[in-house]
Every structure is written in structure tokens, then in C-alpha cells.
Amino acid sequence: MISIIFRWIDLSATFIDQSNKLVLVIPPLCLVILILIVYVFFKKPLQVFLVDIACYKPPSSLKCSKERFMNQMRSFVDSHFDEETLEFMEKLLARSGLGDSTYGPPALLRDPPEPCLEAARSEAEMVMFGAIDELLAKTKIKCDQIGILVVNCCIFNVAPSLSSMIVNRYKFRDNILSYNLTGMGCGAGLRAIGLARQLLQVHRHTYILVVSTENMTQNFYFGNDRPKNLVCSSFRVGGAAILLSNVASDRGSSKYELLHTVQTHMASCDSSYNCIFQEEDDKGNLGISVTKDLVISADNAIQSNIKRLAPLVLPLSEQIFYAINTFLVKHLHLANSMACKPKFTRAFDHFFPHLGAKFLLDELQKKMGFSDEQMEAARMTLHRYGNTSSSTVWYEMAYAEAKGRIKKGHILWQLSFGSGFKCSSVVWKAIKNVDREKMNPWSDEIDEFPVDLSNINSSYPYKFERS
């Protein structure tokens, strides 16, 4: 638009020189420039709709109970794990909040395991294609209508890329814009939504397919380094496909409208950058280390994130009260214990945070003040599906949908964390009541939830630094 303004000025100047009618030309020229400036700087952003989501539910043959998982680990004891490591992993599982119906990678459930590239590619196809097939069936969207594809998977990077695998399978058009996000951890799914939102402000009348998954087949850690055993014990198979649109006529058929995306990146801090780190141990085994700085890094990241999110979502009265309290604490040197926390319970009807262990969810609940019911979707997802990385927040949303709890006008907050260290918030508004539906990973068992997790030992066998 700026270039158009200057082109108008050049053309008008030429016209003025030729006609010598300066007085007659300047007023309409100024009016045109004013209109274009107002259009550029005050135009309303395009609305972004979430048409539907689909979360992949693996076959029952891949169910990985805690007992089955430990039996697999013990079968490797002579060449991989010592007895102390096995005891540590057993404690992790018992206190993580995972149940006995999570799903493991096919290659790692075989005896012996086969963590090869072919098996990893096969797992990726199983999860991604399973989720996309269901999404296409639910939305009735045709493949040639999809203009942009965004795929995220942190630790599995293959050539051709995962996005190319999808384009090849579904024969998307040859001018599709495709993006493949790697190395961004569990928060990459909401980062992908942020990217999609920006793209939908540029490309009008467009559908975007977002696919979020993870793949542990070639990245399972076979060693005795405690910080690396944490990830392998809780990560499970899962993935989600999400269809976004900026087509105005899709509002009536969509589930949600995207209100806000807030991204925070703390990698400038060394402890945050190093708190989740892929590296080799002293024997050359590759794994992802989780350091004791994780909790502090997460706390710093979420504080930075909600400082930017709060003005966008909190009622004005709550913003004023919080601002005054923060000023008093900061400038009058009152005790930090007197600091007021923003009451996000007044801004949101549903809360979907991604954290990979029960004790971390408990810590977050204490900080944020959400009720047990508002934390239910996160706890039940961790129990039923385990840590599915970037797709976890979508299983949580599907849980609330299956329960029939999402009503027209409800505000939903998705919150995720990822290596780097990153924190991402995405806020949605329900366009309509979202009723129970057949194509939902929870539909055939939702009445069995919630389950009682109060008997789980709240102490964690790995000590993090407290903020």
C-alpha cells in the first residue's frame, strides 16, 4: 500500500507539471493519500477461524501400560540400562500421572526393538495420515482447497520432509506453501498456530492445514543418565491435524475464532537455553537432557508471557487492580508474597496447559488459581494419552468437547512450553456449542472420566530448582 501511495504522488506530480492546474489537483491528491494511509494503518485484521480438529487415536495393539513399558526396558538391561536406572524410571512412571492406556511407538514395543529410519517414517505416516484422514472426513474439505501446510515435529527430521510426505500422499496442488518446523519442542504446535495466523493476514480466502506430532522411534534414549531418562519415560505416540480458514463464509461452520496469540522466547538466558538440550552422554548415546533449571525457566517464561497476555484478556477492573498492586510491590519494596496474581479465572472458561508430569500441573494450578475442573482436561489427557508433545493441548480441547462443556461464547486458553525456552499462548472463542461427536478420540470412553488421581505420590524422584 505504501508503494501505491508514492506511485500516486509521482503520477500526480507529472500531471501537475503538464497541466499547471496545481490548485485543482492538490486537494483530491491529499484526499487520496489520506484515505490510503487510513486504510493501511487502521484496517481490521482478517478473522481466523478454526474449522475443526482431529486427534489421532492409535490402535489398541500399541497400548503401553506402565508394566509393559518396564518389561520392555528390562529386556534391554544387559546392554543398556542398569538396575538403578530401571528403579528410577519405575518411580517416574508411578508418579508422572500416566495411566495404563497410553500408546507406544510400534518399533520400540517389538522384541527386540527396531529403532530404524524406516520404522520412524512408518510411525510418522501412521499418525499424521490418520489425523488428516479424519479431519478431511469431518470437514469435507477438498485437498486442492488447502493453500498452506504447516507441520511441526521436534526431534524427527527426515528428507524428504514431513510436509513433503503429506503433499505426496494427498496430492496437494503444486503451488501450496509448506513449512516444516523442527527443534522447537512441545510448544511448537501453538507456534505453528501463530505462524498460520500471520500467513492468513497476507493470503486471503485461504485454508491452512496445521499438523502437530512427535516421533520417538529413533530418539529414545538407551542409557543411564538421569536427566535424559525423564523424557523417554513420559513421551507417547500422538498427533493432531487442525484446519484454519480466513474465509468469512466459514464462520457458521467453524468451531472457534482465533482471538490472540502471544509468543515468548527466553533463549537469551543461558539457563533457559540449556534446560532442555539434546546431547550425547559419555558413552555416545543421544538423548534429551532436562536440567534442574526447568521449573525456574518455565516460571520466568510464563511470567513474561502473561504480562503480555493479561492486557488482552483481563477485565479492565482486574487490570487496574493488578497494575496498582505491582507498582506498590516494585516501588515501595513490599514483600513479594504480597504481590497480586492476575485472576485469569475471570477471563477464561477453559484452560488447556501442556506439561509432561502431574506435579508440574499441580505447581501450575497453585500459581494460576484454576479450579480442579478447569485443570481436569490436562490431567486426564496426561493420564490417558501421556505426553504427546505439541499435540497434547489438542487432546485436551477434544476432551472438553467430548464432555459437552464448550458453549457458544466461551473463551479457551491453550498454554504450552518448549525447548529454547519458549512459552506460547493461544486464545480462542467458541462460535457455537460444541456437542459430542463420533470422530473424537475420547468419544467411546468419555463417560469413564475423570478418574481419581489423588493416590499418586506427589513427590517427584528428580529434584528441580524451585523458583
Q: Whole-angstrom Cα distance, residue 265 to residue 385? A: 28
Reduced to 3 states (helix: H, G, I; strand: E, B; else coil), residue 155 is coil
The pLDDT tens digits of the residues spanning 222-258 come to: 899 999 998 888 999 999 999 999 999 999 999 999 9
Contact 386, 270 (CB under 8 A): no
| The pLDDT of residue 329 | 65
Active site residue 350: yes
350, pLDDT greater than 80? yes
Lowest mean pLDDT of 23-27, 68-72, 166-170, 302-306, name the range. 23-27
Which run of H or of E encompasses 51? strand 49-55
Residue 444 lies in a domain: no
Query: Does one domain contain both 35 and 62?
Result: no
- Can you give the length of the chain in residues? 467
Domain total for the chain? 3
Mean of the per-residue pLDDT values for the chain? 88
Greater confidence, 257 or 292?
A: 257
Q: Has residue 270 been placed in a domain?
A: yes
Residues 104 and 178 in one domain: yes
- Residue 182's pLDDT is what? 93
User: In the prediction, which pLDDT does 11 show?
Assistant: 46
How far is the C-alpha of 405 from the C-alpha of 446, rounded, in Å?
12
**pLDDT (average), residues 384-394:** 96
So what's the pLDDT on residue 6? 46
Q: Last residue of some domain: 231, 253, 275?
A: 253
Most confident of 8-12, 345-349, 434-438, 447-451: 447-451
Burial of 405 (0-12, 13-18, 19+ CB in 10 A): middle
Please check whether residue 192 lies inside any domain of the structure. yes
Q: Which of 64, 219, 265, 305 is catalytic?
A: 265
Do residue 219 and residue 306 come from a single domain?
no
Q: Is residue 22 scored above 50 in pLDDT?
A: no
User: Annotated catalytic residue: which of 64, 152, 350, 440?
Assistant: 350
313 and 350 belong to one structural domain: yes
Domain that holds residue 320: 262-433
Active-site pick, 354, 433, 440, 457: 354
Nearest to 51 by CA among 144, 120, 145: 145
Residues 241 and 385 occupy one common structural domain: no
User: Residue 441 domain-assigned?
Assistant: no
pLDDT at 446 over 80: yes
Q: Are 155 and 230 contained in the same domain?
A: yes
Instruction: Spot the catalytic one: 186, 232, 275, 423.
Output: 186
Would you call 146 helix, strand, or coil by DSSP?
strand
pLDDT band at 337 (very low <50, low <70, confident <90, very high): very low
CATH number of 68's domain: 3.40.47.10
Residue 377 has pLDDT above 90, yes or no: yes
User: Which of these is catalytic: 154, 229, 300, 383?
Assistant: 383
- Convert the pLDDT of each residue in 64-121 to its tens digit: 999 999 998 888 766 678 899 999 999 999 999 999 999 999 999 988 888 899 999 9
Residue 209 lies in a domain: yes
**Residue 449 reports pLDDT greater than 90:** yes
Q: Give the residue from 253, 272, 297 where a domain finishes.
A: 253
Pick from 150, 159, 198: nearest CA to 390? 150
pLDDT-based confidence at residue 16 (cuts at 50, 70, 90):
very low
Is residue 415 one of the residues assigned to a domain? yes
**Cα(385)–Cα(329) distance, rounded to whole angstroms?**
42
387 is catalytic: yes
Fill in the DSSP letter of residue 56.
-
In tens, the pLDDT along 159-187 reads 999 999 999 999 999 999 999 999 999 99
Same domain? For 12 and 137 the reply is no
Classify burial at 295, counting beta carbons within 10 Å of its beta carbon; exposed 0-12, middle 13-18, buried 19 or more. Answer: middle
User: Does 165 share its domain with 57?
Assistant: yes
Annotation says 265 is catalytic? yes
Same domain, 104 and 169: yes
Is 410 marked active-site? Answer: no
**Cβ atoms < 10 Å from Cβ of 43:** 9
Look at residue 338 in the predicted model and tell me its pLDDT. Answer: 44
Kindly report the pTM of this predicted structure.
Answer: 0.89
Last residue of a domain, one of 253, 271, 294: 253
Q: Let me know if 169 is exposed, middle or buried by CB neighbors in 10 A (0-12, 13-18, 19+).
A: middle
Interacting residues of 350 by C-beta distance below 8 A, sequence separation 6+:
374, 377, 397, 400, 405, 406, 410, 411, 412, 413
Note whether 240 and 268 are same-domain residues.
no
pLDDT of residue 118: 95
Confidence of residue 325 (pLDDT cuts 50, 70, 90): confident
Quick one: which of 218, 127, 219 has its CA closest to 166? 127
User: Which of 66, 132, 129, 127 has the alpha carbon at shortest distance from 102?
Assistant: 66
Residues 200 and 87 grouped into a single domain: yes
Whether 93 maps to a domain, the answer reads yes
**Predicted confidence band at 13 (pLDDT cuts at 50, 70, 90)?**
very low
| In a domain? residue 310 | yes
Would you place residue 15 in the very low, low, confident or very high pLDDT band (cuts 50, 70, 90)? very low
How far from 424 is each of 195, 204, 309, 343, 385, CA to CA, in Å? 12, 25, 10, 19, 22
Give the DSSP per-residue string, 64-110. Answer: --HHHHHHHHHTTTTTS--HHHHHHHHHHHHHH---S--B--HHHHS
247 and 291 housed in the same domain: no
